[in-house]
Amino acid sequence: MILDKIINKRIERYQSELLEKYCDEVESMYRKMRGWRHDYHNHIQALQASMALGKYDEVSRYLADLNDDLTNVDTVIKTGRVMVDAILNGKLNIAAQNEIPVNAKAKIPDRTPASDIDLCVIIGNLLDNAIEENKRLSPEKRFIRVYIGRKNTQFYLSVTNAAGKKQPKIGSVFDTSKGVEHGFGLRRVESVVKKYGGYFSADSEDGGFTAEILIPLTDEDRS
């Protein structure tokens, strides 16, 4: 009983720190969006001035730069849950800042039993690990693929990322040099998934790492 209380307190503290960290990341993304909107009129005036002077090549380059900037700011995925949207898009913003290409498709099915906090813990941990692993690689080798959706009567989530050498597995835990927090993060994911009677799988190979999750949807959504 005492051990359970200690573990629960550690989990609560960990989740609180995790969510505080994610809120900071999302706020950073929103500040960037507000900054771009604030500069919008300045961009228009600069383009109009260049057009008036007939500097069309300059206008073309300027528009290309604006397009790249807007693409980085406006990468917004809507899963159907606001809190999850904030975490997921915050992580995508961090990946972009670290020159990590991301291919993401995410829509949380109706009747998914996992709470917003638990989904944020799952997604946050897996993407944190994916980003950290990518940062160890040269830019041309980096990638992250995210899929969240429905698979038959299950909520399904998959995160695949570029990685270095294959990590040896000891029981259900990977032997990693990334420290205690990395291993604790994967254990937290597994613990949350098991709480909902789900299945968690992680596979490491040379060049890549994949985590998959299946959680049964509630009965009403299966009919």
Q: Lowest-confidence range among 25-29, 138-142, 200-204, 205-209?
A: 25-29
- pLDDT confidence bin for 43, thresholds 50/70/90: confident
**DSSP element (H, E) containing 194:** helix 180-195
Give the pLDDT mean for 35-49: 75
The whole-chain average pLDDT of the chain stands at: 80
What percent helix, strand, coil does the chain show, rounded to 5? 55, 20, 25
Please determine, for residue 217, whether its predicted confidence score (pLDDT) is greater than 90.
yes
- 105 has which bridge partners? 147
Lowest-confidence region among 142-146, 177-181, 208-212: 177-181
SS3 70: helix
Mean pLDDT of the region 1-6: 61
Domains along the sequence of the chain with CATH: 75-222 (3.30.565.10)
- Return the pLDDT at 222: 44
Question: What is the reported pTM?
Answer: 0.68
Q: What is the mean pLDDT of the segment spanning 175-181?
A: 49
Average pLDDT over residues 124-142: 93
Structural tokens at position 217: 């949807």
| pLDDT exceeds 70 at position 18 | no
Q: Indicate whether 179 pLDDT > 50.
A: no
